[in-house]
Amino acid sequence: MQTALPEAALETLAAVFRTMPHYPLLDEPSAAALYGDYEGWALHLLTGTPPPGLVPPPTPQRQWGQAQLFFREHRLAEQVRVQHREREYSALAQDLLVALRDASAASGELEGAFDASLQRVQALLASNSVDQLRVEFAGMAAQLRSALASQRTTLERQVGELRERLQAAEQAKIESELRARELGSTLAELRQALDDARQQMQIDPLTQLYNRGAFDAALRRYVDISQASGQTLALVLLDLDHFKAVNDRYGHPVGDAVLTAFADLLSRSFLRADDFVARCGGEEFAVLLFVNDAAQVARLVETLFERLRGLHLPMLQDGVLTCSGGYALLGPGSDGDELARRADRALYQAKRDGRARLNAAD
């Protein structure tokens, strides 16, 4: 059940990304490309295909941080657009309410004048004064025509003012959208530059694995996931044996080639979506992975050792390369710093015990 949880989480995240195009908030021409990017991210989360707009990472890792950044930035852009439209239509609604109040006030004056005339007509009916009734009715008709003409003039003026405001609002909208597109283009260029810089900051230039800074950030995230989901987190530290002698004997270019070959072997040995492989410095490497138990860690590392023993390195005269390893499992109430200290003590114990072996933390 623990190994199935990451796949279910991937499917849920991909479903969220695929739901976004069905409820669009943007209507400009760039909306189609934007929602196409959502589908690209969904495919990346499900299958590991390269995410849209990013340089494919050297190892098949899911780009969790980039997916979160893409989702948050575009949802914020949609929120800004909706708020802008709300302000425009709120101003128009306020103008319309003012016009309705003016019309209601005019109708109220007309209604009061008619009430007074009706009272006079009722009194005249009792007196049977036909001539006075005719005069009163003529006065009511004239009053009605005057009131309606006044209302018509007022409404025509108000409609003209509203038309001018609508035209001004439409022009302001066009100018705002033009500025938004220009700003969006500039932000896209800046974001790409930031992504490139962030990618370079997270990747070790020699081995193309994640570097120490990326490992420290990943360790905190993996500890949080383990504590929240109940999955068992393992940290494996690996150190190439007698690597200083390789540099002293063959030179640093050969040492770099050895490090690159070992990094490639690590990437091919830990291929699961949640496996995280990093070079922590020098000849030391780290692997974060979720496992069922300690025995699974031992089997995976032993498979790595077997592949290392079969690795042909023509740059070394004897062709022999070994490494030592130490690992620890995250315990209840523990944190990333303690996990790293325990794995480090296990690694150095393996070196003291003769190297070319794996040692488990106490």
Beta bridge partners of 360: 327
Same domain assignment for residues 125 and 240? no
Contacts of 170 (CB under 8 A, 6+ apart): none
Q: What is the token pair recorded at 168?
A: 């001004």
H-state helical runs in 240-293: 243-250, 252-269
Q: Are 287 and 235 in contact (CB under 8 A)?
A: yes
Task: Report d(CA 314, CA 317) in Å as an integer.
Answer: 7
If DSSP codes are grouped into helix, strand and coil, which group holds residue 248? Answer: helix
Closest CA to 6 of 159, 233, 297: 233
Q: Are 258 and 266 in contact (CB under 8 A)?
A: no
The pLDDT tens digits of the residues spanning 141-158 come to 676 677 777 778 888 888
pLDDT, position 17: 73
Sheet with 323-329, strands from edge to edge, namely 276-281, 284-291, 232-240, 323-329, 358-360
pLDDT, position 104: 47
DSSP for residue 203: B
Residue-wise DSSP of 151-175: HHHHHHHHHHHHHHHHHHHHHHHHH
pLDDT, position 79: 77
The CATH number given to whatever domain includes residue 240 is 3.30.70.270
Domain boundary among 142, 173, 188: 188
| Helix pair angle (336-352, 212-229), 10° resolution | 110
The parts of the chain modelled with pLDDT lower than 50 are: 1-5, 90, 93-94, 96-101, 103-104, 194, 197
In a domain, 252, yes or no: yes
In a domain, 338, yes or no: yes
Residue-wise DSSP of 60-127: ----HHHHHHHHHHHHHHHHHHHHHHHHHHHHHHHHHHHHHHHHHHHHHHHHHHHHHHHHHHHHHHHH
Contacts of 110 (CB under 8 A, 6+ apart): 144, 147, 151
Same domain assignment for residues 232 and 345? yes
Q: What is the token pair recorded at 183?
A: 């700003």
Residue-wise DSSP of 325-348: EEEEEPPTT--HHHHHHHHHHHHH
In a domain, 10, yes or no: no
In a domain, 57, yes or no: no
In a domain, 42, yes or no: no
Domain range enclosing 325: 212-360
Task: Report d(CA 235, CA 344) in Å as an integer.
Answer: 10
pLDDT, position 358: 96
Q: What are phi and psi of 114, to 5 degrees?
A: -65, -35
Same domain assignment for residues 253 and 304? yes
Instruction: Identify residue 270 by its one-letter amino acid code.
Output: F
Same domain assignment for residues 123 and 259? no
pLDDT, position 7: 72
In a domain, 231, yes or no: yes
Q: Are 246 and 316 in contact (CB under 8 A)?
A: yes
Same domain assignment for residues 147 and 265? no
pTM of the predicted structure, to 2 decimals: 0.49
pLDDT, position 107: 56
Per the structure, the count of domains in the chain is: 2
Same domain assignment for residues 183 and 263? no
pLDDT, position 100: 41
